[in-house]
Amino acid sequence: MSERSAYIKAAESLRGNSGQWAAYESDGHCVVLAGPGSGKTKTLTIKLARMLAEDIEEPRGLACITYNNECARELEQRLNDLGIAPGKRIFIGTVHSFSLTQIILPYSKVARLGLPEDFAVANLQEQRDALERAYDRVIGRDEDPHRMWKGLMERYRRSHLNRAAAAFHDDDATCAQLVLAYEEELRAQGLIDFDDMPLLALRALRENKWLRCAIRAKYPVLAVDEYQDLGSALHSMVLGLCFSTGIRLFAVGDVDQSIYGFIGAKPELLRRLAQRADVETVPLRLNYRCGSSIVTASQFALGEERGYEAPAGAAEGTIYFQPLHGSYEQRAYYIFETLIPNAIARLPGLESGDIAILYPAAWLGDYIADAAQAYGYGTVRADSKSHYPRSSRLMRWLEQCATWCCSGWQTGTPRFSRLVADGERLFAETLASETEQNEFQRQLITFLWERRDSTLDLHTWLTTFRQELLNDHLARSRTMSDERNTLNTFVEKSAPGNTCDGFTLGLFCGHGEGNNRITLTTLHSSKGREFRFVVLFGMDDGKLPRNNAGEGEIREARRLFYVGFTRAEEEIHIIYSANNPSPFVTELAGRIDAGDV
């Protein structure tokens, strides 16, 4: 099937949904306000394919900015399913990656950003050292700067974009001095950090009209996914590129799922964008994920009516309130002693992989993990206590390589060409020439072909892979110091006698026996996922919202409750202290008892 016929055929599935079809047919700036389970990724992907085929002449292309690398991978996979392979016409990645690869690396010198030609991205230890030196210069008190000032400084940097503005110096003079001292310490070492990337890119765009024109010449269309989470710097880029230079904007987001205020997300930026007179705003109101009762109750969880509905014929779905006495440990044991066994007996075909347990903070997951182990349930953690950060591009690529060794070489999923393309982008800095790329491809196929066995010892596989293929690229890359540390840490964990001792290749990538496991994750990390059976654990006052929360924090905590609630397809069980329930739970139960569902 040709690329063009593939997206046209896929577009037929959008016709029955007026919102999805309106987004597909839009021809100017468009903002899609997409509620949970509304098919926004499908709509975005098909729209991207159409714009590439019909609206953009080669060699020009489009850029799609996403919240994180996992979102980028999903979009790439869906485009690949439509016959559109990653290539030079398409950029899909985070705002940090866009800023670094499309603006800073190619243009830092001519844009006069003041960076040395061999600048590098600071790893976490280098950032810590720079903050400590800056703190000694500016404040000098005998306290840990990472405990209090690190978070304050990061929020200040993300919210004060223009260092020439009076507000940067006046709103918090001490914090402003600390920011400047910290950045001076980095520059003295020839370093930038991740927060620098969008800030430097925005400065380059603001000060150089020719650069804005160059970006428009390469990418006449800019798409943005999860707009509500991407912060002020990205919003300023959008205003400058799309409403001044003339790049066409296609943005997708949901103000009600904005849950990252602590790192600078501002849902009002999406709301403001959607209200512009020169933007077509399209709401997606059908929720294909959740049962009809869950869809209705989710709006009570949010505290606002949004007009969301389940499609005709959708299953009803069930909500269970589980007020419990006792400690968190006792409540966690109840899940595996009673709740899950009853569910497996009651729901046809329910497996461990269909179940997720969500909680407000990662430390609560420790109780659940211990209880699961005691009752013999396999789990996979997707929170900050997972075996490695799920955001790691290198580790996720290694997972895909392992999948190819287990089954992909037979099934074609993933394709080897995809592994090569993803690897070349991962190591783009060290694979600049065609000769280097060909050698990388040869080494990769040789390594993987000789290890097509899901029972292989993971530690041996990783150690050999690192030695034969990865070490040289990681050592020469200016941007992958933390990725290298993540890999080395996990290799050590998989060594004999450590926490991941005995892991096989199949277990690492989710193939083979023992991989049908219950997902444990925080509410934050659950976003974008869906499960037949969801348990919300620790829904207590003081945990959600936290004690002494301000008005804005309470609003965000409610949105977090809403995000967790809307992960459930079939059943949702809310576990909370019988003596101290979250006010969100109390309000939700009251609305349901009053017969509003």
How many Å separate Cα 117 from the centre of its chain?
Answer: 31
Q: Which of 251, 249, 259 is nearest to 229 (CA)?
A: 259
Task: Phi first, then psi: give them for residue 34, nearest 5 degrees.
Answer: -115, 115
Contact 264, 231 (CB under 8 A): yes
CB neighbourhood size of 345 (10 A): 9
Residue 40, marked binder:
yes
Residue 35, marked binder:
yes
Task: Phi first, then psi: give them for residue 517, nearest 5 degrees.
Answer: -120, 155
518-522 β-sheet, strand order:
318-324, 568-577, 531-536, 355-359, 518-522, 379-381
Residue 41, marked binder:
yes
Task: Phi first, then psi: give them for residue 13, nearest 5 degrees.
Answer: -70, -15
Length of the chain: 597
Q: Which residues are within 8 A (CB) of 558 and not within 5 positions of it... i.e. 6 or more apart? A: 301, 302, 303, 545, 584
Residue 353, marked binder:
no
Residue 37, marked binder:
yes
Residue 349, marked binder:
no
Q: Which of 43, 85, 28, 391 is nearest to 222 (CA)?
A: 28
Contact 592, 297 (CB under 8 A): yes
Could you write out the three-class secondary structure of 118-178? CCEECCHHHHHHHHHHHHHHHCCCCCCHHHHHHHHHHHHHHHCCCCCCHHHHHCCHHHHHH
Show the tokens assigned to 512. Answer: 């083979």
Q: Which residues are within 8 A (CB) of 592 and not within 5 positions of it... i.e. 6 or more apart? A: 297, 300, 319
Sequence ranges of the binding site for ATP: 34-41
Sequence ranges of the binding site: 34-41
